[in-house]
Chain A
């Protein structure tokens, strides 16, 4: 029977089987709560009748997801906002910091890629700044900027800049001399050469850097929002942990994964759009 299916169908079937089996094991592994009627008097007196905090079964998480996703944008005060609003805040911060990083990294990467002197001059700074965990900047950012929202955006900026900068420089430096010669023999000025020859030639490498950056930015925003608080999916996870609402914690973890995947697939699409075969 399996022989008639395509490769993709077989893979999809296997994925579904793994999901179902995993969920069943999870569901079965959760110990059942004892009903209050079966408790001894002593147990009732010591609070045994209250529901025990435990990892929720997948059925509860699914119910939570249904409840949250059916009304994602409700706003009932500072600590009770819909998942859509929280994710919206996070995406807004990620995109703002990320776009600012792109505006700096791509032109600077062009410069570094075109000029040996610029490459050698910038390289020591890049090598020292790049390995710094973005969250290490947070105290300094909070002190200087004096605004938690802007500090979170700055942390996204500083973590997204390096892969884009390095990949742009690498892509620009690696543009084949033949293509540059084509531009030269056609008397193209520096700007037209940059936009009509070097940019399309380096685009696949640049987009790869942008894709790595957006992935890192999405990883970092969760941690940054746990620190700065207020809004965002990272704050939401931490807030639900403080509420001991593990169902919401698990649900939001899944949402972080889904949004991260969507951001990544947008760049995967972009990557295919600019790819070329030699």
Chain B
């Protein structure tokens, strides 16, 4: 098997448990992400999703294991890996535009100011922020607009890998829907590789090429990699009518509701914990639709 664009190998994270022992959050987690892929990771709180995200961003160090991007091991934060944080993390003393140019200037230090601003405005426009609104401070923007600015800042830097840490977690359902659409639009225009944490199953199905499912911790692992066999471009109103939608959704609900607990708490015995690839596709079948076709492939 050839090396994927981003490869996570034997990643282990342990913390002291406060009583002299260690708490293993996850052990020997191994998975890969291809270039241009949109991958979501789903799992219960405390399973280590955010820890994996922080390791990929370079903001945290794993206890052991490596992350390789483009064949090179990553260490420390880098402009090649952009991050959108759940709480937006905009700098409150800068306007929306200045928050984006802040990133662009860091990414392209040689660009003249006019080009930086033009680039920043273009990406703000992609998420629907145009005109005077770009001169407002974050405190004068709604939560949805702040997250749009944060997304524009990340995309404007054109990182090799974009990490989204529950970007819509703090937004109401309607705003969330609009921004998901905008995210899809920007993503399809930029062919960005995206790795996203979410709690929302429908959001994951709408956005992702592939969903990684994590079991509960301790000793959490990425148990399955579910392919989303719904063709793009997708819209939220159309995908629910696709024959695969509810089959995939039910599979995810079953996993999170039941199997994430059953599979939890197993030490790995040193072996790499690779996810099983699960493909659910009902479109090829026309006669016997009583069972979803479930094909497990170990790679």
Contact = CB atoms under 8 A, between A and B. Distances in A.
B196 interface: no
Contacts of A188: 106
A181 interface: yes
A3 interface: no
B173 to A, nearest CB: 25
B59 A178 contact: no
Contacts of B186: none
A5 interface: no
Contact of A178 (B78, B81, B89, B103): B89
Contact of B91 (A184, A185, A187, A200): A200
Contacts, number: 54
B102 interface: yes
B92 interface: yes
B77 A201 contact: no
A143 interface: no
A201 B85 contact: no
Interface string A190-211: 0000001100110100000000
A179 B77 contact: no
B283 interface: no
Contact of B87 (A178, A184, A274, A277): A178
B26 to A, nearest CB: 22
Nearest to B139: A277
Q: What class of interface size applies to chain A in its complex with B?
A: 10 to 19
Given A276-B139, A277-B139, A185 B83 contact: yes
Given A186-B79, A278-B139, A179 B89 contact: yes
A274 B93 CA distance: 8
A277 B102 contact: no
Contacts of A179: 89, 91
Contacts of B92: 276-278
B106 A181 contact: no
Contacts of B138: 278
A261 interface: no
A185 B77 CA distance: 5
A186 B102 CA distance: 9
Nearest to A178: B89
Nearest to A197: B91
Residue of A185, A188, A197 with highest tally of chain B CB at under 10 A: A185
B68 interface: no
Contacts of A28: none
B82 interface: yes
B40 interface: no
Contacts of B8: none
6 contacts: A178-B87, A179-B91, A186-B79, A186-B107, A201-B93, A276-B137
Question: What 9 A-B pairs have minimum CB-CB distances, sorted nearest first?
Answer: A277-B139, A276-B93, A186-B106, A178-B89, A184-B77, A276-B92, A185-B77, A200-B93, A185-B83
